[in-house]
Chain A
Amino acid sequence: GAGVSQSPRYKVAKRGQDVALRCDPISGHVSLFWYQQALGQGPEFLTYFQNEAQLDKSGLPSDRFFAERPEGSVSTLKIQRTQQEDSAVYLCASSSGQGANYGYTFGSGTRLTVV
């Protein structure tokens, strides 16, 4: 597609509920990233895929967070037993390369509210 597509745009979850957030990257982009953005803050790195391989998951805040990209295209970020502190915007980005001059194309994000 022309851009990075994320769904749903908004998600309200009751505390303790599991959620799944979807990211469709730009076709052909091998690198895919997930970021978490709290209100009024910059995005914080969660995890990174190169094709289907998850090369860095150092930013995942707890073992309740899990990401996958089984066929090297669409990715899903799953949060189990959601807590109020998980409320944030979750951004997905893709990139065609890793050199210094490659930028990321971000989706519009999924705003998760845990009540």
Chain B
Amino acid sequence: TQLLEQSPQFLSIQEGENLTVYCNSSSVFSSLQWYRQEPGEGPVLLVTVVTGGEVKKLKRLTFQFGDARKDSSLHITAAQPGDTGLYLCASKGAQKLVFGQGTRLTINP
């Protein structure tokens, strides 16, 4: 079973700062998805990356997939309180998603 490790587990920063969170795997990803989950809600898909070295941008969020497809990062520029939430990476296999434990991000006004 593929193991996904996310770091840091918790991150609390001030509004306007930049941050990066990481997702590492014990084996190669077929494809990787990032989700954001807010309290009391289910995870919401942000992006899917498939190709090694791929970079995708979603407004202030930049997602990078490692060349060897065993790691990924999420960089947020000028964080806002609305970015607060649990960020989950997930390995997408043939039939199911395997999630990491998440990074709990808090942006303080």
A contact set with B: CB distance below 8 Å: 4, 33, 35, 40-45, 48, 55-56, 91, 93, 98, 100-101, 103-109
Contact = CB atoms under 8 A, between A and B. Distances in A.
Contacts of A98: 94-95
B92 interface: yes
A100 B45 contact: no
B95 A56 contact: yes
What class of interface size applies to chain B in its complex with A?
20 to 34
B40 A108 contact: yes
Given A48-B95, A98-B95, A108-B40, A103 B100 contact: no
Counting chain A CB atoms within 10 Å of each CB, the highest count among B42, B92, B95 belongs to: B42
B88 interface: yes
B88 to A, nearest CB: 5
Nearest to A93: B42
Given A43-B99, A45-B96, 15 more contacts: A4-B42, A33-B96, A42-B102, A44-B99, A45-B98, A91-B43, A93-B42, A98-B95, A100-B30, A100-B48, A101-B50, A103-B33, A103-B45, A105-B45, A108-B40
B24 to A, nearest CB: 14
Contacts of B94: 98
Given A42-B99, A100-B30, A108 B48 contact: no
Contacts, number: 59
B11 interface: no
A82 to B, nearest CB: 22
Interface in B1-57: 4, 6, 30-31, 33, 40-45, 48, 50
Contacts of A44: 99
Given A42-B88, A101-B48, A106 B96 contact: no
Contacts of A42: 4, 6, 88, 90, 99-102
